[in-house]
Amino acid sequence: MSAPERIPPRSVTTAEQLARGELTVRGQIREASNAVLYCSVSHEGQEAFCVYKPVRGERPLWDFPDGTLAQREVAAYEVSEATGWGLVPPTVLRDGPYGEGMCQLWIEGVPGADLLALVDGEEPEPGWRAIGFAEVGEGRTALLVHADDERLRRLAVLDAVINNADRKGGHLLPAAQDRLYGIDHGVTFNTENKLRTLLWGWAGEPLTDEAVAVLTSLQQGLTASGALTERLTGLITAAEIDGTRARVDALLASGKHPEPSGEWPAIPWPPV
């Protein structure tokens, strides 16, 4: 007998506030390649802060011609919620001061969390996983490593499912209560294999039992009439939903973390 479908309820209070609250622009995050606005959102006497990315501020991408970055950001949140891991901050699609866009809860990062490092030598120290060698200037190279952290390992599984083409170090957001979030998921769900990430430390290794259970749940949710399919419909194309289903099936069939394909740069640039 198959296990019951594990699609946990979303955070209704937060989602309602993000979707229905009054958005007020407070500033702009200027280092972003697309329009990213820092806003407050007020609803029924409560105020929170969020990131608002209007569709009209997106730069077209030739290899992501369908849909919008905003829609893919929301789709990534829906998949994250379906895993039960809560790796993406609450995210909704809504109208705002500059038209339709993605609205995501602002998460205050916790400084000092060591997730990435450059080290001398050819092998990582205990507690770290090797990514690859990087030039550090004056003809020198150093080993780029990431923490051997179960939160990162979960995020690596999520990225493989959503086909994340841009998992940079700056998209890892350690937060209070030992939480870790991934942000900036606009270039995801492509039907071609475009996985580019810094989280290659488990490449080719067996998936954890937890990951297998989560992937099995996603597989059930991604059936033609599944709850996750319903949530993704309208955010990404039918072909992209099929591709997501196929990636989940492939992960379960192999039982391993994916390895770089060699057909696409494995590490995003710049890496952070």
- What is this structure's pTM? 0.91
Given a cut of 80, whether residue 3 has pLDDT beyond it is: no
How far, in Å, are 4, 64, 256 from residue 45 at the CA level? 38, 39, 48
Strand order in the sheet with 37-43: 22-28, 37-43, 46-54, 99-105, 91-96
How far, in Å, are 2, 39, 87, 260, 267 from residue 131 at the CA level? 37, 35, 21, 11, 9
pLDDT in tens, 253-263: 999 999 998 77
Given a cut of 90, whether residue 60 has pLDDT beyond it is: no
pLDDT band at 136 (very low <50, low <70, confident <90, very high): low
Q: Which of 3-12, 19-28, 74-83, 255-264 shows the lowest per-residue confidence on average (mean pLDDT)?
A: 3-12
Mean pLDDT of 262-270: 79
Taking alpha carbons only, the member of 52, 53, 46 closest to residue 13 is: 46
Given a cut of 50, whether residue 12 has pLDDT beyond it is: no
Quick one: CA torsion of 76, 82, 85, 88, rounded to 10 degrees?
Answer: 20
pLDDT in tens, 195-208: 999 999 999 999 99
